[in-house]
Structure 1
């Protein structure tokens, strides 16, 4: 069974709008909702970046049914892992056990703001592995002391623990990261529909563990308008995560994507009013073995029409095709 979700994009809407979108997405029939956790948007045209955890607290009260998740939180620099554990436990309590903590090794865009530089990828993976140990230990209950190469924890305890342990989903990109993070995680996050990632993950965890991905789309009654908007706000997507993780701010993303054309974007992101291209773009994910796919509707001012489209046409088509 494949479930389809909605992405609360903090980079393209303010906090009050995001809370409203969360309620509307639930009414439209989405099964779960994921929220980005950024300090900065990728591009100035996106124009927003409220605190994800504050918004999540409000979203828990504005929704009743949908699963909730960070997609993703980086617990290695901007947040200490002990603080992330406390935030996650609180959201789990507020949501009545609907929350999954999505974690990843982060982007320079968001993490450099605390003035600690930006370590290479192998060091970031070491830091994330230590963070997972700390967070898991705190979720176990009791006092935690930890002395690692990157973090220390001194007699920390979560005083408000939910009765259902917070599941941890971790972002992976290849064999090395799957081998490192799967043993400490409950679910997998990946951005590309690679069957080999799913197969390796399942060999370490189990086939029932969720595999979660994300797909940007740009619905609009006018396909040309959709392509223009996708190019304006999502051309950063063309760089891929290995490049995007290293860029320090919106000016760098603008420079790096200055030669990305509207046609380039339209070839990679389904744009316009039709269901067919979105279903075709989603199909490789469930064929690869992913169990959850969160859609991103590009454009903070273009959500209401998308919810109607999703309720009446898109979600029925996706569920019929996948399930």
Structure 2
């Protein structure tokens, strides 16, 4: 059965607003949460970037919905041993309703300690080793690890959930998608790409869940919605590896000047056309996804939740 969740955007909202949105999502009929993990927003207009692990603690007390990071990079800014402790604590706080979504990251967030930003193949190699380290730590046993990228000595997590934290792996290209199939407990991606789902399945993800994210901008005024989506999230339309290598919000703002409002209008469901929203969500289910997480762009969260509760969620396939 398909699952429909809400995607909390740490880049746009502070901690209190995110908790409030999670509560509104549960009241509206969404059955799960995603939450982004960033050090910086993509641009200054988005304006926020709280520490996700603090917000997760608040969410564990404010809502009963399962929640997943979408996604955490456990390779540079946070060592995998530290990420494992944070994830294990989140799983305990949520009584087992936490999944750790991981990815190879972006320079925007991960270069802040002054480390060299590796090539994509090296980042995936680091991610695979990081997942191995975290899985060993989730057992609650003492771990010593001396690998190519990470060293762990006499580390033991004393606060662990009854079951190891599931780790879903994000992928946007063939190599990352195949890695997700091989090492992940599930697959995370941001486009309704049936070919990527099939690649994940054929690489070892046969019976594992596939989860996708979708950004929309609900408003009674479609033109206003398009302008809001363009102002805040033009970066979503940047091509190729560019989002992984630009180092600061300022650089994204420069690149965003190449993205037209027409391009955003074509790519992002904007306005209050129920059928457009239903079709955008259903495209993921048709592509073989098990769950879709929708994120409202802009400040009108209440209007979005009212719209989805009354008009969109009842029309989605079960």
- TM-score per shorter chain, which class? over 0.9
Q: Is the 8 A contact 1:275 1:317 kept in 2?
A: no
Partner of 1:12: 12
Give 3-state SS (helix, strand or coil) of 2:111's partner: helix
RMSD: 1.3
SS at match of 1:237: helix
Q: Does the Cα contact within 8 Å between 1:239 and 1:257 map onto a contact in 2?
A: yes
After superposition, what is the alpha-carbon deviation per residue over 1:76-101, rounded to whole angstroms, capped at 9, x for unaligned?
10100011111111011111111000
Give, in whole Å, the separation in 2 of the partners of 1:303 and 1:137: 40
User: 1:241 Cα shift?
Assistant: 5.6
| Matching residue within 300, 307, 311 for 1:313 | 311
Residue of structure 1 in register with 2:165 after alignment: 166
Give 1:310 shift: 1.3
3-state SS of 2:152 partner: strand
* Aligned-pair CA distance for 1:36: 0.3
1:178 CA displacement: 3.1
For 2:130 and 2:180, the matched residues in 1 are separated by 11
CA distance in 2, matches of 1:272, 1:197: 29
Question: By how many angstroms is 1:206 displaced?
Answer: 4.9
- Tell me which residue corresponds to 2:213: 214
2:252 aligns with 253
Specify the alignment match of 2:80 in structure 1.
Answer: 81
Contact 2:186–2:205 at 8 Å: present in 1 too?
A: no
Structure 2: distance between partners of 1:84 and 1:259: 36
Asked if 1:223 corresponds to 2:222, the answer is: yes
Q: Secondary structure at the match of 2:219?
A: coil
- Tell me the SS of whatever aligns to 1:154: strand
- Is this contact kept in 2: 1:187–1:209, CA < 8 A? yes
Q: Deviations over 1:15-68 (max 9, x none)?
A: 11111111111111101100000011101111111111100110010002x110
Q: Which runs of 4+ in 1 moved over 6 A?
A: none
Match of residue 115 from structure 1: 114
Checking the alignment, whether the CA contact within 8 Å between 1:40 and 1:49 is kept in structure 2 is yes
Cα distance per residue 1:216-258 (max 9 Å; x no partner): 1000111111111001001111104621011111111111111
In structure 2, what is the equivalent of residue 26 of structure 1? Answer: 26
Whole-angstrom distance in 2 between the partners of 1:86 and 1:110? 20
Q: Deviations over 1:138-173 (max 9, x none)?
A: 112201111111110111111011112211100122
Cα distance change on mapping 1:241 and 1:105 into 2, 3 Å: farther
TM alignment of 1:63-142, pairs within 5 A: 63-64=63-64, 66-142=65-141
Query: 1:34–1:71: 8 Å Cα contact kept in structure 2?
Result: yes
Preserved CA contact (<8 Å) 1:82 1:135:
yes
Distance, in Å, in 2 between the alignment partners of 1:193 and 1:28 is 24
Rounded Cα–Cα distance in structure 1 between residues aligned with 2:260 and 2:195:
31
**By how many angstroms is 1:286 displaced?**
1.1
In 1, Cα distance between equivalents of 2:6 and 2:240: 21
State the SS of the aligned residue for 1:296.
Answer: strand
Q: d(CA) in 2 for partners of 1:182 and 1:145?
A: 26
Alpha-carbon contact 1:85-1:135 (below 8 Å) kept: yes
Determine helix, strand or coil for the equivalent of 2:45. Answer: coil
Partners of 1:27 and 1:119 in 2: CA distance:
43
Aligned length: 318
Alignment partner, residue 237 of structure 1: 236
User: What is the deviation of 1:204?
Assistant: 4.0
TM-score by length of 2: 0.97
Matched residue of 2:245: which SS? coil
Deviation string 1:101-157 (CA, Å, 9 cap, x unpaired) is 000000111011111121111110111011010011111220111111111011111
Note if 1:190 corresponds to 2:204: no
For structure 1, the 5+ residue unaligned runs are: none
Deviation for aligned residue 1:296: 1.1
Other structure's SS at 1:270 match: coil
